Amino acid sequence: MEIAKVLTFCKNLSFFSISGNNIDSKASHPLANGLKNCQQLHTLFLNNNNFGDEGVTLLGEGLKHCQKLKKLSLSITGIRKEGTVIDCIKYNHSLRYIYIEESLYSCERAFEFILPQCSVCTDEYGLVCMKNKR
């Protein structure tokens, strides 16, 4: 995936969106490697792709290095397994907003422990928005 290669040179990238590109889990590993270099990233939209559980977990490995990440959208990414979102974001303590499907939130019981600074609301599209209380 060419965009993943470009990410390795984007150390000052602050906003990145690959929403709605029908990207599958095969692209997750190169994307995760590219994201490791994006330490200034504060907004990342991955929604409307087909990463699935395995792909989102792999992306989490890259997101560990994005310690300034404040906004993340993982809605409609093919997540099915409980704990996948938590595995992806557990090292991102700067997160203020995360978007996932409402059906996922009910199975992600650990959110309150991982992100205790967040409150939960549902937006007009039925997506859960975890909003930082600060």
- Output DSSP code: residue 25: G
Give the pLDDT band of residue 107 (cuts 50, 70, 90). very low
Q: What is the CATH number of domain 2-132?
A: 3.80.10.10
The predicted-structure confidence for 58-97, as pLDDT tens digits, reads as follows: 999 999 999 999 888 888 888 887 677 777 777 887 887 7
The domains of the chain are located at: 2-132
